[in-house]
Structure 1
Amino acid sequence: MNSKSIKILSTKKLLSNQRQFLLNADFGLIEADFIKIDFLKVEIKTSSEYLLFTSQNAVNSVISNENWMEFKRKKCFCVGKKTKALLEQNGFVVVQSFEYVEELATYLIAKHSHDSFAFFSGNLRQDTLPIALQQANITFEEKKVYRTDLTPIKVESKVDGILFFSPSGVKSYLKENTITNQVCFCIGTTTAKEVEITTKNVLIANQPTVENTIIQCINYFNQKNTNL
């Protein structure tokens, strides 16, 4: 198998610089958005001391609301380097950021068990953080500020690898398609767990970013070609 014969499916449309990684490697690429995000116009006032963000979608939704500026005086905890960067670009103070929700939950329980939090989330969010906070009797209010809709698409072409970036993206893909012998590259462990229900042919990015997921894919197939 040479690089030109390798075809990759991305379950979200990539930015031009992300796409270029694959094109520079001479990989074929199919890309489509298997989920759709809608920001919700909701009441986002809160008396909580801290704000919790586990995705860029939540940040973008909050700053799309008219009264978001009053939140800038509150400090934040978040998941993801890009979520942290987005918050800071908009004037928020990020106390601490983590790669995974589990790490955030562990930190809050250990260091902030007597504080109160506003958690901004989407309709398909995982239960990990709310359950952990509830079990630790930590005061929090959840505000759903965006909605994720599945937008499944039938993929007619044969592909060698699939890029997955969220559990909901996995669910959407499987509504119209199957996973057989394709290698699945996942942005993180939560996404990987959803894929592993169907296949064990899974590789997880070293860092939970789109770019690293793509690099893992390129490295895998280049290594495979080298060993042929």
Structure 2
Amino acid sequence: MAQPIRILSTKKLLVNQKQFLLNANITVVEADFIAIHNKQVSIDNVHENLIFTSQNSVTSVLENLKSTETLALLKQKNVFCVGIKTKQLLEENGFSVIAYTGYAADLAEIITLIYHKEQFTFFSGNLRRNTLPEALKNAGIVFNEIEVYETVLTPQKINATFDGILFFSPSGVESFLKDNKINNQMCFCIGTTTANALEKYTKNIIIAHQPTVENVIIQCINEYK
């Protein structure tokens, strides 16, 4: 009987997500290589359009403001976001999403081409990429930035061997590589930015067709059918 494929996920999966892999005879080991800490910040001087590039920023704002008047005011503003899961979380909590894309670069293009006369507030994390703010600045768009969460690397040594590794962010890649090496494992990435963080270390990269955890898992299952 063939040995089951062994996969390392660099973040802990939901039960149903893990089950997809188990049903495909893929053994999964999980470990969180980053931790998210929400920041208590003053959210004032907010423009009429809001930008969220991750679910983490949405969660932090919701937790920070809870049922305050400020949160109610935010929900009256137009929202631009990155990621279908981010969009769903926003809409589930009463926000109106005007535009969303899979990547920050695409959102920047939409804003600079169509909404360049508008003013924006960008809710971000400490390790956010420069792609979006640089594009807004270069286009002369008025915006401010409020850092609402912090990503902390939580590196750990993994002694077991794996056929593949699931990566979900550039910071997850950085954290993994602090105490581990990539040899011949296939690396499954949630998007191009995460894949770019791996390019110096391996050519064995498969990028999800959609930037979701589920699609990373689908690509993994398809690879080992």
TM-score w.r.t. length of structure 2: 0.96
Choose from 137, 140, 143 the match for 1:140: 143
1:65 is paired with a residue of what secondary structure?
Answer: helix
Task: Give the stretch that moved more between structures: 9-18 or 37-46.
Answer: 37-46
User: Which AA in structure 1 matches 2:153?
Assistant: L
CA–CA separation in structure 2 for the residues paired with 1:48 and 1:186: 34
> SS at the partner of 1:12?
coil
Unaligned runs of 5+ in 2: none
Displacement, 1:70?
A: 2.2
Give the structure 2 partner of residue 63 of structure 1. Answer: 62
Residue pairs, 1:1-228, within 5 angstroms: 2=2, 4-66=3-65, 67-222=70-225
RMSD after superposition = 1.0
Q: Deviation of residue 68 (structure 1)? A: 2.3
What percent identity do the matched residue pairs reach? 57
Structure 1 residue runs of 4 or more that deviate by more than 3 Å after TM superposition: none
- Structure 1 runs not aligned, ≥5 long: 223-228
Aligned length: 221
Secondary structure of 1:73's partner? coil
Cα distance between partner residues in 1 of 2:78 and 2:62: 15
Aligned twin of 1:225:
none
Separation in structure 1 between the aligned mates of residue 29 and residue 114 of structure 2, nearest angstrom: 45
Alignment partners' CA distance in 2, 1:5 and 1:58: 37
Q: For residue 69 of structure 1, report the CA deviation from its aligned partner.
A: 2.6
Q: CA deviation at 1:197?
A: 1.9
